[in-house]
Amino acid sequence: MNEIFASAPGKFVILGEHAVVYGKPAIALAMNRRFYLSVRRDDEFKINGDAVDIRANPHLRYIASRNDMVPVSIHMDSKIPTGSGLGSSAALSVAFSAAMRALNSRSISKEEIAKEAFEAEYFSQGGGSPMDTSASANGYGIALNVHGNEEDRLWDISKNGRSWKISRIDVPSMTFVIGYTGVRAATGPLVEKVRKYKDGNRFASDIIDEIGQITLEGLAAIESNDVVKLGELMTEDHKLLSILGVSSNELNRLVSASVPYSYGAKLTGAGGGGSMVVLTDRPDKVCEAIRSRGGMPFIVKTGVDGVKVSNKNEID
C-alpha cells in the first residue's frame, strides 16, 4: 500500500508578530524541531491507529476536504510543543498538505503547500497571517512585506483584502535560546484580542506601526550582522507586545531573567504563555536563568530545510 511520509519545521519569530496580521513587516526563522507524519489510504480516517472524526480538527478537515474527503490513516509525531508559539499547528498543516497532495498526485511545490496550509490555518483560527506556514514550508529565514531584491521574492499571498509579500532572507549564524513557559496558549484568541484593541483604540494602531518600523530596523541589523542592535530591538519589541496585551507574567519573568546574559529577549509567536526567544552569546547562562524561573530552555539551530515529502520512510 502506498504510504507518503512528510515533515515540516517549527519556527520562531525574531520581530513583527501580531503586526504582520495587519500587513506589517515580520521576520521568522525555521528551526530544528519538526512535525513528522505519514498518510495512507484506509476505510476511515484514523490518527495513530484510532478511528477519528476528522471534522473535529479544523486543520486536518480543511486539507482533507481539498482531497475529496477520501479517508486516510495518519501517523503523526511532533517534536514541537503544542500551543508553544513555535508554529506547531502550521507545521502540522504544512506536512499534512504535502503528504495529501503527494498521495493524490497534486503539485508539491512549496508555494502551493504554503498557500493551502495558510488557508487551513485561517479556516481554523478565523484570522492570522501566512507567516508561520510560509516559514515552515520554505524553511531557513523569511521576511514578510519588506522591500528586497526581486530574486529573493518567494510568493505573495492575499486574503480578505490583505496581502503579504514573502521573501527569503539570509541570516548570519547567531545563537538563539527558546524558553518555553509550559503554559499553552491558542493563537486565535490572542489575534482576536489584538484586533478588538486595535478596532477600539487609535493608540493600539500606533503600537502596531511602531512594531513594523522596529522590524525594518531589525532586518537592516541582520543584514549588517549587528547583534547588539538586533538584540535591543527585540527587547523593545517585547515592551510593545506587552502594551498590546499579549505578554504574561511567566513570559515577562523569563525575559527579565535572560536580559542580563543576552543582547535581547522577547516573547515569540502569539504570546499569552507559549515561548520567548533570546539572542545571546552565553547560551548556557541563559538556559540556567530560564530554568531557575521555571521555564524550559533549549538552544535552537536555524538554517534548516522546509517541508520534505517522500514515499520512503527516510524523512528527517
Which positions lie near ligand PMV, rule CB under 6 A? 17-18, 20-21, 85-87, 128-129, 131-132, 187, 191, 269-270, 274
Task: Give me 253's grid cell.
Answer: 519573568
Neighbour-count burial for 28-59, b at 16+ CB within 10 Å, e otherwise: bbbbebbbbbbbbeeeebbbeeeeeebeebbb
Least gap, CB of 83 to ligand PMV (angstroms): 8
Closest separation in Å from C-beta 251 to ligand PMV: 12
* Minimum CB distance to ligand PMV smaller for 72 or for 250: 250
Q: How far is the CB of 10 from ligand PMV (least distance, A)?
A: 8
Q: Whole-angstrom distance between the N-terminal and C-terminal Cα of the chain?
A: 22
User: Of 17 and 236, which CB lies nearer to ligand PMV in the complex structure?
Assistant: 17
Closer to ligand PMV at the Cβ: 100 or 191?
Answer: 191
Q: Is the dihedral of CA 57, 63, 66, 72 positive or negative?
A: negative
Residue type, 270: A
The residue (of 103 and 178) whose beta carbon lies closer to ligand PMV is 178
Q: Is the Cα torsion angle 126, 132, 134, 137 positive or negative in sign? A: negative
For ligand PMV, the closer CB: 72 or 307: 307
With beta carbons less than 8 A apart as the criterion, state whether 48 and 266 touch: no
Would you state the cell numbers that stand for residue 135, as one nine-digit string? 516559514
* Complex with ligand PMV: residue 37 or 90, whichever CB lies closer: 90
Output the smallest distance, CB 95 to ligand PMV, in A: 15
Measured distance CA(14)–CA(27) in Å, rounded: 6
Q: State in angstroms the smallest separation of the CB of 299 from ligand PMV.
A: 19
Q: Cβ 263 to ligand PMV, closest distance in Å?
A: 22
In whole angstroms, how close is the CB of 44 to ligand PMV at the nearest point? 30
Q: Is the dihedral of CA 307, 81, 120, 168 positive or negative?
A: negative
How many CB atoms neighbour CB 127 within 10 A? 16
Q: Residue 4 forms beta bridges with which residues?
A: 39
Q: Which is nearer to ligand PMV, 227 or 241 (CB)?
A: 241
